[in-house]
Amino acid sequence: MPNLQTTDVSTFLTLAKKHPVLDARSEGEYKQGHITGAISFPILNNEERALVGTCYKQKGHNAAVLLGYELAGPKFKLFIEQAFTLFPHKKVLLHCFRGGLRSKIMAWVLHTAGFDITLLHGGYKAYRNYVAEQFLKPYQFLVLGGYTGSEKTPILHMLASVGEIIIDIESLANHRGSAYGAIGLPEQPTNEQFENNLAMALVEAGTEKIIWIEDESRKTGTVVLPEQIYMAKMNAPLLFIDKTRQERMQSIIELYGSFDKEQLINATQKIEKKIGNLRMRQAIESIATNDYPAWLNIVLDYYDQTYSFGIAKRLKEKLIRIKAANNDMYVQQLLKAKDTLLNQNGLPNN
């Protein structure tokens, strides 16, 4: 007889490393936020869920339950057929919002078809509480800083390639953190989903080892770092990649020079209030005529000034400037700086 059991969030997530997680909520709920890696497998779609909700308000619990069965019942065969196709090993994890009727019905349907089912106690709501708890833990951050174009993200991944633990906020956010940061990237996740993904990255990294993280403002595009993580980052040592303006301009042109000019122009228009109408028009004209150095000299004046203002808020003893000839040497210098901080006990838990 196949198993049907319920477990807590921590155990559920451990099992999720080996088995698929099915989200029985509607597709709209799933898009708003879901367990990282979960598969949308709704028992009621958006419209059906709305109908049940209206029925509950107007006619009460029993009528809503009956309507739910009426809407979902004809789809039971389809659920089983899809599960047979997608999950031939017949072992899945399952949840709805609170661990209530939707997941229990779906569990019953799949269980009778021979599936081993593990339900999440408390559902997605319990998972969100777990996510919030992760932001309160004492992580040991080293923050990789530098002006726009310093190639912080490539250097971050070079650190990962030599065994360092990193969290790439820009990757989690699908955004590079400036007015131009969305160009060439997929749609950003909701803020809720960003928090979910960040929490899972923090769980994977743990609190015992150093975590390298890029110096971002609290808001990256449309998503926002949790207050606790932002403050921990602000209180951590900042290792500043000290590249020349010319080096930075070259790397920016290599990245953005191939993108559609209209996208660059639209992004430049977003910072009109920051640089002024005249400078904005000059920057747009420079883009149109392929004079990318002139465009960058205008916008970098603004971004460099903004970043300088930000790092001025940090304690001077926690700001370490790193100068090197190339990115490989930057990685070497960063690792040396990390060792020095460890030896000086300069990395207390935040």
Q: Which residues are catalytic?
A: 96
The 10 Å Cβ neighbour count of residue 214 is 21
Residues 6+ apart with CB under 8 A from 189: 172, 173, 174, 197, 223
Amino acid at 205: A
Contact 133, 329 (CB under 8 A): no
Q: Which amino acid is at 281?
A: R
Q: What is the DSSP letter of 186?
A: P
Distance from C-alpha of 252 to C-alpha of 272, rounded to nearest angstrom? 20
Quote the crossing angle between the two packed helices 191-205 and 123-134, to the nearest 10°: 60
b/e map 85-97, b = 16+ CB within 10 Å: eebeeebbbbbbb
How many CB atoms are closer than 10 A to CB 228?
A: 15
Cβ contacts of residue 333 below 8 Å, gap of 6+?
A: 322, 323, 324
The answer to whether 141 and 130 have CB atoms below 8 angstroms apart is: no
For the four alpha carbons of 49, 50, 54 and 57, in that order, the dihedral sign comes to positive
Paired with 224 in beta bridges are: 219
